[in-house]
Amino acid sequence: MNIAIAGYGTEGESNYRYYVDRGDDVTIVDEQAVPSRPLPDGAKTMLGEGSLNQLSGFDLVVRTAGLNPNKIAADSKIWSATNEFFARCPAPIIGVTGTKGKGTTCSLIASILRASGTKVHLVGNIGIPALSVINDIAPEDVVVYELSSFQLWDLEKSPHIAVVLMIEPDHLDVHADFNEYISAKANIVRHQRSDDITLYHPTNEASKIIAQSGEGTKLRYAIVDDGQTYVKDGSFYVRDEVICDIDAMQIPGGHNLDNACAAISAILPFVTNVEYVEAGLRSFTGLPHRLKYVREVNGVKFYDDSIATTPGSAIAALRSFIEDKIIILGGSDKGADYGEIIDECKRTHARVVAIGKTGERIEQLCRERDVPVTRETGGMQTVVATAQRLAIPGNVVILSPASASFDQYKSYADRGEQFIAAVEGL
């Protein structure tokens, strides 16, 4: 087949190798004259501005996840690595989506399954291109797939078990509006059959709307009513049976108890002995940049939550600590409303260090609501020094920006690494 790989980053590189190894005639297409990944020797290319509008004559156009399919002008089928994987994967797939918590929930699912002796493939938005492992998967394995709205945009097949976490407005700089974002997410269940399962958040309306889009059995997690996992009296329960103490969790926050309930519920069809759950929970100590403890300096604890690029995730970070808090808020704009996070700062008496492009609006909202705020326009070393100056022993400092990173940093990971380095340098 004559195939165009549209977008050449980490996933595009994996897509290229997959189709070349299959024996196809492959052309790399990218609007950047110099793509983010080095080009293979001898590769056919179409590079530069307007290249996505010239994709005629191909049998298949394989887009990278973050590329809006509507931006591709082609006279052939537009496909994706996610579609290709779902079409060819021989093992059952547990798919997880949500605005935040996807990576943690996927990792908890994988950790519990591995504790039970199951061979697990953890792929997708978490950073492992799915097609890079497709040839290693056996029918008796289980795939755990983290699915962003971009990967779900044009998905034509839904996973056997779909987990829909809390949904809030996000990526409105890419999606036309919240309704389009929800519609993309809904593909995780839209193609399910009656023998499939949808697990969804018990109180989030957008999660419920998505769950109703498919024919799978619909069950709520973190609630007693639907026979799934919930928390009571300091323990995880399933159908009135104690599984283990919540102290098995190695990561902080009430939102992570919800994520654990979703994860435990998702593994129930695959794990007959729930004794493996505790071992799986204990072995997972958290992902980088997700409310990770960095160090304590003069009685002040510093936490890196750079992954928190929405107000809802920053609110969850604030609610994870009873100590007095200083929260670092701001970055590049994704169209979010910051009113709710500032209200939460006021309610919890948190002080704010406002940074980045959205820091100006955050500072204004803080002053309107009488929330203590310090505007900081310098780099991360200066930001951390400012937070340290404001803190007193017993305080917690959290980098939980509620904004994307691209105004000052390459990525949320780059922002988090610079925060860690600055804290380590105190």
Nearest residue to 308 via CA among 166, 156, 150: 166
Centroid of chain to Cα 281: 19
Helices 254-267 and 102-115 pack at an angle, to 10 degrees, of: 50
Helices 10-21 and 81-88 pack at an angle, to 10 degrees, of: 50
Name the phi and psi angles at 70, rounded to 5: -70, -10
Q: Retrieve residue 14's tokens.
A: 């994996």
378: domain CATH number is 3.90.190.20
Residues 110 and 31 in one domain: no
The pLDDT of residue 83: 98
Q: Retrieve residue 38's tokens.
A: 């080095």
pLDDT (average), residues 115-141: 95
Domain residues for 338? 292-424
Residues 6 and 116 in one domain: no
- Residue 15 in this model has a pLDDT that exceeds 90: yes
Place of tokens 């945009």: 153
Q: What is the DSSP letter of 374?
A: E
Residues 126 and 51 in one domain: no
Rounded to whole angstroms, the Cα distance separating 282 from 111 reads: 9
pLDDT in tens, 221-246: 999 999 999 999 999 999 999 999 99
Residues 41 and 98 in one domain: no
The pLDDT of residue 426: 96
- Residue 120 in this model has a pLDDT that exceeds 80: yes
Question: How close are the terminal C-alpha atoms of the chain, in Å?
Answer: 57
What are the C-alpha distances in Å from 286 to residues 13, 252, 320? 28, 9, 14
- Residue 43 in this model has a pLDDT that exceeds 90: yes
Number of independent structural domains in the chain: 3
Q: Lowest mean pLDDT: which of 50-59, 143-152, 168-177, 335-344?
A: 168-177
pLDDT (average), residues 35-52: 95
Residues 49 and 111 in one domain: no
Residues 121 and 37 in one domain: no
Residues 151 and 246 in one domain: yes
pLDDT in tens, 291-334: 999 999 999 999 999 999 999 999 999 999 999 999 999 999 98
Residues 357 and 382 in one domain: yes
User: Mean pLDDT in the chain?
Assistant: 96
Lateral strand order in the sheet of 25-30: 44-47, 25-30, 2-6, 60-63, 77-80
Q: Are strands 300-304 and 292-297 parallel, antiparallel or unpaired?
A: antiparallel
Rounded to whole angstroms, the Cα distance separating 299 from 292 reads: 17
Secondary structure of the chain: what % helix, strand, coil (to 5)? 35, 20, 45
Residues 142 and 7 in one domain: no
Domain ends where: 80, 100, 124?
80
Residues 262 and 140 in one domain: yes
48: domain CATH number is 3.40.50.720
Place of tokens 């097949």: 157
Residues 275 and 336 in one domain: no
55-61 contacts at long range (C-beta below 8 A, 24 or more positions apart): 55/4, 55/6, 55/29, 57/2, 58/2, 58/3, 58/4, 58/27, 59/1, 59/2, 59/3, 60/1, 60/2, 60/3, 60/4, 61/3, 61/4, 61/6, 61/29
Query: What DSSP assignment string belongs to 306-339?
Result: TT--SHHHHHHHHTT--S-EEEEE--B--S---H
Based on C-alpha coordinates, what's the Rg of the chain? 22
Rounded to whole angstroms, the Cα distance separating 240 from 115 reads: 23
Q: Are strands 396-399 and 373-375 parallel, antiparallel or unpaired?
A: unpaired
Domain ends where: 24, 47, 80?
80
pLDDT (average), residues 273-279: 94
State the pLDDT confidence band at 174, using cuts at 50, 70 and 90: confident
Residue type for position 412? Y
Residue type for position 323? E
Nearest residue to 191 via CA among 219, 159, 167: 159
Residues 237 and 379 in one domain: no
- Residue 127 in this model has a pLDDT that exceeds 90: no
- Residue 335 in this model has a pLDDT that exceeds 90: no
The pLDDT of residue 226: 96
Rounded to whole angstroms, the Cα distance separating 404 from 306 reads: 9
Q: How many CB atoms lie within 10 A of CB 32?
A: 13
State the pLDDT confidence band at 424, using cuts at 50, 70 and 90: very high
The pLDDT of residue 176: 87
Q: Which residues of 224-241 are buried (b: 16+ CB within 10 A; e: fewer)?
A: eebebbbbeeeebbbeee
Contacts of 302 (CB under 8 A, 6+ apart): 293, 294, 295, 296, 384, 396, 397, 398, 399, 419, 423
237: domain CATH number is 3.40.1190.10
Nearest residue to 288 via CA among 425, 129, 417: 417
Domain ends where: 217, 251, 283?
283
CA dihedral 271, 201, 181, 411 (to 10 degrees): -70
